[in-house]
Amino acid sequence: MFEKLKNRWNLKSGWQVAIVLLVFASTGFTVMFLKEPVLSLFAAKEERNWIFTTIYYILILPVYFLILLFYGWVFGQSKFFTGFVKKTFSRFKKKKK
């Protein structure tokens, strides 16, 4: 599994794959733990509806990527995650004809 990821992501070692996976996991946990305190600043849990939830998920995407870049920098993988974020956002752009 590590070899497949190493080749797919053009990484140099299994340790680098482990660090990248750790960064993804840390980012996910951080976003998960921040969700309830942030949402409670805007509305009580029982007052939230599907529109509120949809807006939250749209707005959390850039925050997720900022946290991902921060953890990537902390763990010394900023080059990989900068490229990853650029590649991901380029997919959101419309393709030119």
Cα dihedral 60/69/28/85 (nearest 10): 70
pLDDT, tens digit, for every residue of 31-86? 999 888 887 887 787 887 888 888 888 888 889 999 999 999 999 999 999 999 99
pTM: predicted TM-score of the whole model, two decimal places: 0.81
| pLDDT the model gives residue 94 | 65
Tokens of 7: 């080749």
Q: How many angstroms separate the CA atoms of 57 and 95, rounded?
A: 24
